[in-house]
Amino acid sequence: MEHSVQEVTFHHEPGGNEVVKKIIKTTIILSVITIIELGMGLAMYAFPMAAGLKLFLKGVIVILSLLKAFYIVGVFMHLGEELKNLIMTIVVPLLLFIWFIAAFLWDGNSWKVLRNTYNPKATTEVHEGGEHH
């Protein structure tokens, strides 16, 4: 038993009310971020706006979602309380996503540009119609 206690430390967090307070605080943060995201999503629907502004709002929503992910992983999953080496073995491989997302969205966009260039019929079908509710 002595050996196993030395090997693994089970107690990561101090007991008591401060933990519950932290959980409640994180819950409020997650809820508020979600409400802001929803507000921005609905604003894009309710008010006609320029494509650039729409893209900007979408970018902000993506960043807010990453913030939510940070709180869920850091606080709810207690990754923030683990040893730094453990955190790095999880987080560093995820950096692959930077290339993964950029490369494949670029690819999709290139696909669209090529199709519109060599098959112009594809664009006119959409532009004649417009938004459908």
**Chain residues that interact with other proteins, rule: CB under 8 A:** 5-13, 15, 19-20, 23, 27, 30-31, 34, 37-38, 40-42, 44-45, 58, 61-62, 65, 68-69, 72-73, 75-79, 82-83, 85-86, 89-90, 93-94, 96-97, 100-101, 104-105, 107-109, 111-112, 115-116, 122-123, 125-126, 128-133
Smallest gap from Cβ 83 to other proteins, in A, equals 5
Q: To the nearest whole angstrom, how small is the minimum distance from the Cβ of residue 132 to other proteins?
A: 4
Q: Which is nearer to other proteins, 49 or 101 (CB)?
A: 101
Encode 23-66 in three state secondary structure: HHHHHHHHHHHHHHHHHHHHHHHHCCCCHHHHHHHHHHHHHHHH
Q: Is 68 exposed, middle or buried (0-12, 13-18, 19+ CB in 10 A)?
A: middle
- Cβ neighbours of 61 (radius 10 Å): 17
In 49-118, which ranges are continuous DSSP H helix? 51-71, 84-94, 96-118
Minimal distance, residue 67 CB to other proteins, in Å: 10
Nearer to other proteins among residue 49 and residue 90 (C-beta): 90
Instruction: Write the CA distances from 58 to 31, 43, 64, 119, integer angstroms.
Output: 19, 11, 10, 29
Least distance to other proteins, CB of residue 46, Å: 8
